[in-house]
Homo-oligomer: A and B are copies of this chain.
């Protein structure tokens, strides 16, 4: 069967009737109450990012009237999400403003990172991402339902460790996970077609959000990382290589919720081997020459073990070039301005990053490349946890 024959889309013999017969996209009705929820999120968003403001400030920022904002704020205060903070100190003309602020330090979230194969890492965090307590749970090789049980126990443990009201639970896991927190497949945990978010929401009695770990990482970077308003791509380097893309404030999920799987793009093949280049190595995905065979932490550590700094830099630069090759078309096609790397700085934040940036710039339109920033993630080693927390902020409060 040739590649041509297996192509699903092709020109039909007769031109199809235009404008009819296409499956309707899942568009949803919008009710006034949805509009209100949106405006409510707008107010929270402003308070989260800009800090305490007066109701009049919020009205100016959102475009709503002072009356409407007052109404929304009173609801938020009643819910305990917002508090009055007294009168604004600065003296200006007119009636002094009473500041209201989001109670980011009086509310907490539970965040869990499932990236590691050996143990689950969890934390209780404030809404600003400050870690209040940590817990871990060893998997001891458990998978499937047993792994779910370990996760649930860890969540209960963390909920008990929280000393403030918990807004929700956020979980970042490897694997393919849809927007409802349904795990399509997570081979490392032995999960297939598992409604994890729904299950835990029921069991724990409060909202649980689950998403792919690289995606949550990107969301966290977008929320906490001071990224510009447009678009953002985060490449996470760990056991494997993943990526998350945020465009227009929301995650790109892709047709099968598998967006970001950049680790298995081929960057070395036997036709490309040149002097000084590595041979294509077999990859866990069954093929060879994937980016992940060079850029994952095990691969980087193996390649740099026992080398001089100069040799190490050469190796890292070579990997950086491969990363740049894979990034250039993506940066061009999406006109991305911001790409960030997440992982150990000692491996990534040197020759590798420099060469990756140089490669992308050399291989894209000057206009695009010059605007590009390729930096390290602004989140520290708790980036995955911060991402899980951002997942709660986004899903629960509409704040990104």
> Could you list which residues of chain A lie within 8 angstroms of chain B, going by C-beta atoms?
2-4, 7-12, 15-32, 34-35, 38-39, 42, 45-46, 48-51, 61-64, 104, 127-130, 223-224, 226-231, 233, 243, 245, 247, 249, 252-262, 264-266, 269, 271-272, 274, 285-287, 326-330, 332-338, 340, 345, 349, 353-355, 357-358, 361-368, 371, 373-376, 378, 380, 400
Contacts and interface: CB of A to CB of B under 8 A. Distances in A.
A3 B357 contact: yes
Given A128-B18, A266-B328, A354 B3 contact: yes
Counted per complex, copies of this chain come to: 2
Given A18-B130, A264-B364, A271-B274, 14 more contacts: A3-B357, A8-B373, A11-B376, A11-B378, A16-B226, A21-B50, A23-B229, A24-B61, A254-B334, A260-B333, A265-B364, A266-B362, A266-B364, A272-B272
Contact of A336 (B42, B254, B269): B254
A373 B329 contact: no
A228 B49 contact: no
A130 B18 CA distance: 9
Contacts of A330: 329-330, 333
Q: Max chain B CB contacts within 10 Å: which of A21, A26, A261, A358?
A: A261
Given A45-B24, A245-B334, A254-B231, A104 B19 contact: yes
Contacts of A3: 354-355, 357-358, 361
A288 to B, nearest CB: 11
Q: Interface on chain A toward B: helix, strand, loop, or mixed SS?
A: loop
23 contacts: A3-B357, A3-B361, A4-B357, A7-B357, A10-B375, A11-B376, A20-B51, A23-B228, A24-B45, A25-B229, A26-B229, A29-B62, A30-B39, A228-B255, A255-B371, A260-B335, A261-B333, A261-B368, A264-B365, A265-B363, A266-B363, A269-B362, A330-B333
Contacts of A228: 23, 255
A378 B22 contact: no
A351 to B, nearest CB: 9
B30 A35 contact: yes
Contacts of A45: 24, 27
A343 to B, nearest CB: 13
Nearest to A226: B22
Contacts of A265: 328-329, 332, 363-364
Given A26-B229, A32-B32, A32-B35, A374 B340 contact: no
A257 B272 CA distance: 34
Contacts of A373: 7-9
A3 to B, nearest CB: 4
A38 B49 contact: no
B19 A46 contact: no
Contacts of A243: 333
Contact of A49 (B20, B63, B129, B345): B20
Given A2-B354, A35-B30, A35-B35, A20 B266 contact: no
